[in-house]
Structure 1
C-alpha cells in the first residue's frame, strides 16, 4: 500500500465514524424531544402530593432538632408549603413548630429541620403538610 492509499483509507474510516456519531447524536436528540413532548401531552397534571417524613433528632444548643424530608409526588409545583410538626402526650399537644418552603417542584425532595424545646423522644411526633398553594 502506498501513502496515498493509506490516506484515502484513513479518510474513509474518519467519514464513517463521523456519520455514525452524527446519526447517534440525531437519534438521541429526537428521542429526548419525543419524551418531552409525550410527557407534556400525556401528563395527567394532577395536584401536588406533599409527603413529609421525619429523620434523625439531635440536640443543638439545648434545643431538639428533628430533620425532616419533604417531597412532592404530584405533577404540579406547590408554593408556600407549610409543614407542621407537633409533639403530643396522649391527647395533649405539648409543642408545635412550622417550616415553610417557598416551592416544592414535582418529583423533588427537600430537607429541613424543626426545632423543639421539649425532648421528642418523650413524646409522639406528628408531621403533616398544613397548607400550600399552586403558583
Structure 2
C-alpha cells in the first residue's frame, strides 16, 4: 500500500506540473491573440485609405533591329488597386513631340509595382523621354 500512495503522489505532482505549463502556454497565447486583434483594430481605425497614386520610371533602353525598347516600372504608391492603367511615353525635342506611344497595364495593386515596355522607332537617348500614367479605372 505504501508504493501505491507514492505512485499516486507522483502522478498528482506530474498532473499539477502539467496543469501549470498548460495555464502558462494558454495565458501567453491569449496575450498574443489579444495583441493581434488590437493591432488590426488600430490599423483599421488610424489608417486612411488613399486612391491610386501612379509613378512611372524608365528602367532601361535596349536597341533592337529596327526599334528601341524602353523598359519601365509603374509604382502605385496609393492604397487601392488601379485597373486598366494607361502609360504614355513621348519623345520630345525643343517642346515638339517626335513620337508618342501608349501602353495599357492590366492592374497595379496598391503599394506595389509592375513592369512593362514600350517600343519606339526613334532613339530615346537622342530626345527627351517623358513617361506618364494618364488614366486608370477602379476595379
Q: Give the TM-score normalised by the residue count of structure 2.
A: 0.74
- Give the drift of 1:119: 0.5
Aligned to 2:111: 107
RMSD: 3.0
Once the two structures are superposed, residues 102-122 of structure 1 have per-residue CA deviations (whole angstroms, 9 ceiling, x without a partner) of: 221111011111111110010
Q: Give the TM-score normalised by the residue count of structure 1.
A: 0.76
Deviates more, 1:84-93 or 1:57-66: 57-66
C-alpha distance in 2, partners of 1:115/1:27?
Answer: 56
C-alpha distance in 2, partners of 1:72/1:95?
Answer: 26
- Structure 1 residue 47 and structure 2 residue 51: aligned? yes
Secondary structure of the residue that 1:121 maps to in structure 2? helix
How many residue pairs are counted as aligned between the two chains?
133
Return the match for 1:38 from 39, 42, 50: 42
- Give the drift of 1:43: 2.2
C-alpha distance in 1, partners of 2:113/2:28?
Answer: 33
The runs of 5 or more residues in structure 2 that have no matched partner are 1-9
Task: Determine which structure has more spread, i.e. the larger CA radius of gyration.
Answer: 2
Return the match for 2:68 from 44, 64, 67: 64
